[in-house]
A and B are shown apart, each in its own frame.
Chain A
């Protein structure tokens, strides 16, 4: 897992080139078929109705197939792009940040992002942000990505439970807690969504594992988060859940040694 970043970058680049050709030639062929239809129109008009309908149907099916090739190619391209983003993240720049401000910002970003995708999206956001958290050195962009992933998953699970409509009074909610533990900080992200069945819990952090419908999730969010927290920050990420009730992710990010020493001396 340590070299997941390098491995994915290598694979992604190898796949990207042939995939570009697939997408490009599929798009081109749709254009060529349009041209063919235009050019052949006068000749087709002279045919009897049955033959013309037959030819039209085949051309439409060909166009449809090419559009499907292009569509699935774009899907694959999306996966390749997330893989590349993941590998690029390894050089995330570190600086001292106010953890609560970082969490607030990510929460706003996630919420407005979800609203932008679906105007009907709504969820109760509960914040329990620990007071006086000493600034911590971390890679803010990377941790923001982790938070966006967790918030996004939480939104998805909570609103899915609502969409399933078994409980008319159900209100989706997401709770974020932060605590200063001295040598580390703790972030908890809890949603009251569909929960994670025990049998898939140990697959959660595997690359490409997803419970979302085909095309909606890349299955990279949590594996990337795992990498960022454990590999880049020497932290831990744990999950607790009960199916049909809640899911809670707990992240511990240790302070770097020289920081805690400085803290003791002060």
Chain B
């Protein structure tokens, strides 16, 4: 069974880093990675069906234009069941609280602990289906 992950970050090298970190999983077909460079682009992508089944969205918080927290709120309106994890260099309590209140499943700080992230991904409700 194969699942999609959508990563939203305005830094293009984040995509390269995720690709390399998930090289094995991608080759085995466990996960297919999709990338959006902004909150707006992520919403456009979500408007269409993402194949295979999208099980999680990972979003940066500080982005030009629509920031990650606004994106999170927008997604919770449109697709309340889609788990969203925030990934940010700013691990302060206020952002953490805002993210939790808006319905984020996880709050990860950069540098991302990829072992921890992969463990979280395995525990997603969609992933066990």
List residues of chain A with CB under 8 Å of any chain B CB. 13, 16-17, 20-21, 23-25, 28, 32, 88
* Of the residues A16, A17, A88, contact of B11 by C-beta under 8 Å: A17
Of B13-21, B36-44, B46-54, B68-76, the one contacting chain A is B13-21
Interface residues of B toward A: which range? 10 to 19
Given contacts A17-B11, A17-B110, A23-B111, contact A28 B20 (CB under 8 A): yes
CA distance A28 to B11 in the complex (A): 18
> Which A residues are CB-close (under 8 A) to B111?
20, 23-24
CA distance A20 to B87 in the complex (A): 13
The number of residue pairs between A and B whose CB atoms lie closer than 8 Å in the complex comes to: 25
Which partner residue on chain A sits nearest B11 by CB separation? A17
> Which B residues are CB-close (under 8 A) to A16?
89, 110
Which partner residue on chain B sits nearest A14 by CB separation? B89
* Of the residues B11, B13, B21, B89, contact of A13 by C-beta under 8 Å: B89
Contact A13 B90 (CB under 8 A): yes
The minimal Cβ–Cβ distance linking B11 to chain A, given in whole angstroms, is 7
> Which A residues are CB-close (under 8 A) to B21?
24, 28
* Of the residues B11, B17, B110, B112, contact of A25 by C-beta under 8 Å: B17
Contact B89 A20 (CB under 8 A): yes
CA distance A17 to B111 in the complex (A): 8
Contact A32 B20 (CB under 8 A): yes
CA distance A265 to B110 in the complex (A): 53
Contact A24 B89 (CB under 8 A): no
> Which B residues are CB-close (under 8 A) to A25?
17, 20
* Of the residues B17, B90, B92, contact of A21 by C-beta under 8 Å: B17
The minimal Cβ–Cβ distance linking B12 to chain A, given in whole angstroms, is 11
CA distance A23 to B110 in the complex (A): 11
Given A16-B89, A28-B17, 16 new contacts (CB under 8 A): A13-B89, A13-B90, A16-B110, A17-B11, A17-B89, A20-B89, A20-B111, A21-B13, A21-B17, A23-B111, A24-B21, A25-B17, A25-B20, A28-B20, A32-B20, A88-B92
4 A-B pairs with least C-beta separation: A20-B111, A28-B20, A16-B89, A20-B110
> Which B residues are CB-close (under 8 A) to A28?
17, 20-21
The minimal Cβ–Cβ distance linking A85 to chain B, given in whole angstroms, is 12
CA distance A25 to B19 in the complex (A): 11
The minimal Cβ–Cβ distance linking B24 to chain A, given in whole angstroms, is 9
The interface centre, meaning the residue of B90, B92, B111, B112 with most chain A CB atoms within 10 A of its CB, is B111
CA distance A236 to B1 in the complex (A): 65
